[in-house]
Amino acid sequence: MSERFADIVLPLAQPAYTFAVDESLELGEGDAVAVQFGPRNIYTGIVLAVHDRRPQSGKIKTVSRKLFAGPLITPGQLALWRWMADYYMCTEGEIMRAALPSLMKPHAADSEQFDRRMYRPRTERFTALGEGFAAESAELSAELDRLERRAPKQYAAITELAGLATAAGAPADGFIPRRLLSADSAAINALVRKGLMRECVREVGGREPYDTEFVLPQLTQQQQQAFDSIREQWKSRGTVLLHGVTGSGKTEIYMRLIAETAARGGDVLMLVPEIALTSQLTERLQRVFGSRVTVWHSKITQQSRTETYMRLRDSQGGEIVVGARSALFLPLKSLQLVIVDEEHDRGYKQEEPAPRYNARDCAVMLARTAGARTLLGSATPSLESYMNARSGKYGLAQLAERYGQARLPEVVISDTLRAAKRGERRGHFNMELEKRMHQVLAEGGQVMLFQNRRGFAPYVECTSCGHTARCPECNVTLTLHKRTGRLECHYCGYGRPYPAVCPECGAAESVPMGFGTEKVEQQAAQLFPQARILRLDRDAATSEGACRRIVDDFAAGKADILVGTQMISKGFDFGRVALVGILNADNLLRNPDFRASERAFQTIMQVSGRAGRRDGSGQVVIQTAETDHPMIAMAAHGDYEAMARHELAERETFLYPPYSHIIRLTLRHRERPVLYRRTEQLAEVLRKKFGRRLLGPVTPPVDRIRSEYIAQMMLKIENGASLSRARTILREALASPVGKELRNVTIVCDVDPQ
């Protein structure tokens, strides 16, 4: 037999290594193996390819141990890994780290430890009546007569088992989980010895058989048209964008498509931006699809993630997976439908660590390789997807109206400067907003208040010397959190108690400047002492459970006002919210990012979309000092098309996405001079290759985080130029040797940064 080799990827930030394959080992693509790597490291490896090409280097290790029966990674997944590693400029090892549950890739010093840490399926004992003793048979009743007199416990055990085995819906093979029997093990063991009972051990993690009848509401005429149009367009295009205003029934359309796909045995992958916030959505899906729905997110325990992974790997199809971005990596073998809800959401982009991928774009890729269909849904599509739909690359379906009696809310723009001048402002509430809140609350409606900053105040200033507290590790001010009485850094988590006097001059008067959700909550309590108020932000929702409690309580009407950050904008369907207040829209516009306007529009629309979802009387008050900013007017009119036209014109002029792709390079080092030398040196190399396509280097607004100084550069590769060639050139530039000292500068490539 000829020599065989395998390219194997390990969960490290390194490319695949080639190992020799032991003669006795059957090995194929996607298999998991245990490999020795260095004297004290054993890792799980994934086989990318098996071939007969001996690598150049002399010494080569042999792999001799396969883990799990059958491949762990599907061919579709491997194709996705390859594409991602190339596109996002990372290693397959980094993808593997993100893709596999950690129990499947323990790191250990020796084999014994590796086996101990490796995932093992849980098992359970099952019991059935003995061969030849079918329930209600003459043989069994003869035995029962005997037992009844001599061994009443055994008699009880066997009648109980016979009862369970003949009950409606009992498994055909007669095996019942032993835990369901109330008899003690002595009785059961005795019966097994006599041959009256049989036992076996099975892996758990399976699932009850499920229904194929799905009860769904009738679609409206508008929805039916969109539904038909999506299916029609799928015949010629893999991906369709569903642009539907909030509350128009996008989810109803998703559910129809899911039902169809699952009923014919196809798998469905539905991505949502932040699953912890979508309990309402998952409950809605579970009501219709029951146990077919698998919910996947980072808060699930490692054991149960791994069981889910294996269950899906071994599934016969018809699975419905709803999950955050990492659900992309689940082994669905019959993938037929991919839905990306709120496709514009930046939560789809993983920023740190690598792979820095956008799950929406990967989902489109994944579906394409699997031959599945993709539906992207949003009330405010990203300009990337919108342009793809306009240019005919994607299909487009629209839902312009809300379902039923619900209308889009009435939007009022309220001038904060004018209100302040006229004395029509208390705290951060214009009279306009306050008045409407009184009215809504008096009528028993609910109010949501949005402010995109958490904490009490983003900085604190000493009134006598002007000192503001800053983070020692990062170049940012510390945010005051009144509830904990601490100053906190929102970049690195550093915190310290809020001092009674100024550490600079000793004066006792320092004032919180600006405002966050905590302060909004406090002022709302002062203005509306009768109202019950809840707050939803990262400080209040410390766990998934805490988050769900806040959402459920508000949905159940246990509070009148919900104050929150971006978190409150995410797809909630609260029926009684009649008024939404955006306390300071200026924050949203003032971002230096080229996407700031698009983001501001999306956020305002998403937050506003929470108002008046059941009846026609929703209102939104947008407080701003920039009342004539074009974006505010467009958001107030809910005019997505106008926003898109306006923004696209600007992006085209400056060749920003979607007219180009950006690769952002971030360099970090603890010493500024070293950082700058490396940055300048790299910039010089890149300038020669990329000319004016290189922007920067620049110092970002926050130029120091966790004690590391930061510099950035951008490559802007216009559409029509080869992005893959740009990546190749960049890879070479990064690989070219540099002096010893400069080698320690961290360089991060982010393709399509958000």
Q: Where are the beta strands (DSSP E) in 109-255?
A: 123-129, 176-177, 197-203, 239-244
Q: Taking CB under 6 A as the rule, does residue 246 contact ligand ADP? A: yes
Give the sign of the dihedral formed by CA 716, CA 718, CA 721, CA 723.
Answer: positive
Q: Taking CB under 6 A as the rule, does residue 252 contact ligand ADP? A: yes
* Encoded tokens for 253: 């359309």
The helix-helix angle for 640-653 and 383-390 (nearest 10°) equals: 90
Residues 560-599 that bind ligand ADP (CB under 6 A): 573
Question: How far is C-alpha 489 from the geometric centre of its chain's CA atoms?
Answer: 24
Smallest distance from the beta carbon of 292 to ligand ADP, in angstroms? 19
Q: Taking CB under 6 A as the rule, does residue 403 contact ligand ADP? A: yes
- Provide the binding-site residues for Zn ion, judged by CB under 5 A: 471, 473-474, 489, 491-492, 494
Stretch that binds ligand ADP, among 123-131, 246-254, 487-495, 646-654 (CB under 6 A): 246-254
Torsion-angle region of 387 (φ positive above 0: left; ψ -120 to 50: alpha; else: beta): alpha
Q: Taking CB under 6 A as the rule, does residue 285 contact ligand ADP? A: no
User: Whole-angstrom Cα distance, residue 706 to residue 684?
Assistant: 27
Identify what 251 binds: Zn ion, ligand ADP, none; CB under 5 to 8 Å per kind: ligand ADP
Question: How far is C-alpha 222 from the geometric centre of its chain's CA atoms?
Answer: 30
User: Whole-angstrom Cα distance, residue 608 to residue 579?
Assistant: 9
Smallest distance from the beta carbon of 379 to ligand ADP, in angstroms? 7
Is residue 311 within 8 Å of residue 302, measured between CB atoms?
Answer: no
Burial label for 625, CB within 10 Å (0-12, 13-18, 19+), is middle
User: Whole-angstrom Cα distance, residue 205 to residue 304?
Assistant: 8
Identify what 248 binds: ligand ADP, Zn ion, none; CB under 5 to 8 Å per kind: ligand ADP
Smallest distance from the beta carbon of 214 to ligand ADP, in angstroms? 14
Given the complex with ligand ADP, which of 283 and 509 has the nearer CB atom? 283
* Residues comprising the chain, all counted: 754
Which residue in the set 248, 452, 517, 712 belongs to the binding site for ligand ADP (CB under 6 A)? 248
Residues β-bridged to residue 698? 712
Is residue 312 within 8 Å of residue 319, measured between CB atoms?
Answer: yes
Given the complex with ligand ADP, which of 247 and 618 has the nearer CB atom? 247
Smallest distance from the beta carbon of 566 to ligand ADP, in angstroms? 17
Identify what 223 binds: Zn ion, ligand ADP, none; CB under 5 to 8 Å per kind: ligand ADP
Identify what 246 binds: ligand ADP, Zn ion, none; CB under 5 to 8 Å per kind: ligand ADP
Which residue in the set 41, 62, 64, 220 belongs to the binding site for ligand ADP (CB under 6 A)? 220
Q: Taking CB under 6 A as the rule, does residue 217 contact ligand ADP? A: yes
Identify what 471 binds: Zn ion, ligand ADP, none; CB under 5 to 8 Å per kind: Zn ion
What is the three-class DSSP state of 266?
coil
Smallest distance from the beta carbon of 12 to Zn ion, in angstroms? 29
What own/partner pairs with CB < 8 Å and gap ≥ 24 does 598-602 have? 598/382, 598/383, 598/643, 598/647, 599/346, 600/631, 600/635, 601/380, 601/631, 601/634, 601/635, 601/640, 601/643, 602/344, 602/380
Smallest distance from the beta carbon of 127 to ligand ADP, in angstroms? 45
Given the complex with Zn ion, which of 550 and 705 has the nearer CB atom? 705
Which residue in the set 11, 45, 106, 247 belongs to the binding site for ligand ADP (CB under 6 A)? 247
Identify what 83 binds: ligand ADP, Zn ion, none; CB under 5 to 8 Å per kind: none
Stretch that binds ligand ADP, among 217-225, 256-264, 383-391, 718-726 (CB under 6 A): 217-225
Q: Taking CB under 6 A as the rule, does residue 343 contact ligand ADP? A: no
Q: Where are the beta strands (DSSP E) in 54-206?
A: 62-63, 65-67, 123-129, 176-177, 197-203
Task: State residue 51 phi and psi, 5-degree precision.
Answer: -155, -175
Identify what 474 binds: ligand ADP, Zn ion, none; CB under 5 to 8 Å per kind: Zn ion
Which residue in the set 34, 72, 165, 219 belongs to the binding site for ligand ADP (CB under 6 A)? 219
What amino acid is encoded at 569 in this protein? S
Smallest distance from the beta carbon of 406 to ligand ADP, in angstroms? 7
Q: Is the peptide bond before 658 cis (omega within 30 degrees of 0)?
A: yes
Smallest distance from the beta carbon of 404 to Zn ion, in angstroms? 48
Name the site residues for ligand ADP (rule: CB under 6 A).
Answer: 217-220, 223, 244, 246-252, 403, 573
